[in-house]
Amino acid sequence: MDVASRFRLRGPGPAASSRSPKTRLIPRALLGAGLSFGLWSASAGSGHAQPSPDQPSDARPIPQTQPVLLQVSPPRPAQLPPSASAWTLERVGKLALERSPQVQAATASLEASRAYRAFGSMSRVGNPIVNLRAMVGRPDDTAATYAVQLGIPFDMSGRRRAWSKEAIWVEREAEARLLVIKNEARAVARDAFIDVALSQQNERVALDNAEIAREFLSRVRARFDARAATALDVALSERDYAESVAATARARGLLVEARGRLRQVLDLPPDDGVETAPLEPPRLPEGLTAERAIALAIERRRDPAVYRAGADRAKVAEVRLRRESVAPVVAFGEAEAQGNTNTKKSLGVGLSSELPIFLRNQGERAVTRAQGNVLTIEGALSERAVGREAFVTFQQLEAALAELSAIEQNATPAAEQALSMTMELLDAGAVDYFRLLNARQSAFALRSRRVEALRAAWRLRIALERAVGGLEETP
């Protein structure tokens, strides 16, 4: 492999056609640094018989015993199952509404809430009541009386109508809660997708860093053999390579964790391969301002609607409890037989009802009424909270995009330019290898920071969509 191939960067970033001029210079800077380092090593190696005048006296050959860690190549990305296909943000959002465990549970709760409708179809007529009565005459047996009563209770309290109204609010509350959970599930799934996509990019950055650190270590050892480098230079390069291998393993672990999280939120099989396409930087939704975000949040978020529906349900439930305390009216007919020779039998009808003077469910009604008051207050607080959340998230997204732009447009090109200049100064003998190592580490640290800044920007973009209850625009 030639020097140019060894120092080629395969890290994440926008497509070549969409990169800014400064961004396109980044790989070239590292490529130039690699070429300059190769030429510097070759020129130093050609004069290995004559060490440089300023070379420290401890630059002597040492036994070439290689630590086991430094002989291990950095791990490569694991191969996904053949069935794995690239996931997209839009696909994940749609799948979350179908497969999310929370959405499935909320949908089942909505279906269960519709069972309350059965209360409204209860019969106003209750089960028949039979009453038997026998009275023995004393001292004359002819005074004995035998009677049978058959009664039919009728519900005149209006509890059935109250149950029908309460069933309506129970269903509306479940519908609003389902919309809230869908909004949350979509945001959680998209956030998990972003975590996978950016973890993949972070792993590629770590792999590139480990590969170039290995090349630097190999060349420093060659210079040491040629008496053009010190043992300290070798030790620093070995430490740099070991750290890059450890960082690669850590990035791989974070990617495995991110894929597991996405499988969890989408209820996917444990061996389902998850591979994402590269992500471009997010952007602010077109035409959206902080004031507009507040208005959309108040209009679209269903969180306050859940509390309002619960408060209305409590009101009708309190009415139902009051009506349930009224006993039904019983209409009955009676047939009576007597031992008296003058009156052998008699027939009659009547009504029986409890006088609702003392209501026995004041406790339940008081608790229900208090719960309704709490839900009313929580609904008002929730409405103000969603507005504040949308406003703060919008401002945070603006700041995150500004940070990402500064890293991509200014910091990273400056770091690459510093690396190139350090190589030139090293060739001229003005700086030592420690400066070159710092410049290279700084360049790759900025690449890792760009990935994290991109992750933060995307998460805030998704949080903004959740805060306003969803956007028609798909990023």
- 12: in domain: no
The pair of structure tokens assigned to 433 is 């290898």
For the entire predicted model, the pTM comes to: 0.70
- 6: in domain: no
401-430 burial string, b = 16+ CB within 10 Å, else e?
bebbeebbeebbbebbbbbbebbeebeeee
- 220: in domain: yes
Can you name the residues that pair with 348 across neighbouring β-strands? 334
Mean pLDDT for the stretch of residues 228-237: 88
Q: Could you write out the DSSP letters of every residue in 384-407?
A: HHHHHHHHHHHHHHHHHHHHHHHI
76-89 burial string, b = 16+ CB within 10 Å, else e?
eeeeeeeeeeebeb
Residue 330, pLDDT above cutoff 60: yes
Closest CA to 405 of 443, 444, 450, 441: 450
- Give the pLDDT band (50/70/90) at residue 141: low
- 108: in domain: yes
- 198: in domain: yes
User: Across the chain, what does the average pLDDT equal?
Assistant: 78
Q: How far apart are CA 119 and CA 155, in angstroms?
A: 13
Structural domains counted in the chain: 1
pLDDT at 249: 96
- 9: in domain: no
- Give the pLDDT band (50/70/90) at residue 137: low
- 17: in domain: no
The pair of structure tokens assigned to 96 is 């979350």
- 8: in domain: no
First to last CA, the chain: 40
Q: How far apart are CA 448 and CA 454, in angstroms?
A: 10
pLDDT at 32: 44
pLDDT at 57: 38
Residue 475, pLDDT above cutoff 60: no
State whether the Cα torsion 475-446-414-39 is positive or negative: negative
CATH of the domain at 214: 1.20.1600.10
Model confidence over 29-40: pLDDT tens digits?
A: 444 444 444 434
Mean pLDDT for the stretch of residues 139-149: 74
- Please give the residue range of the domain that contains residue 126: 22-48+63-467
The pair of structure tokens assigned to 189 is 């799934």
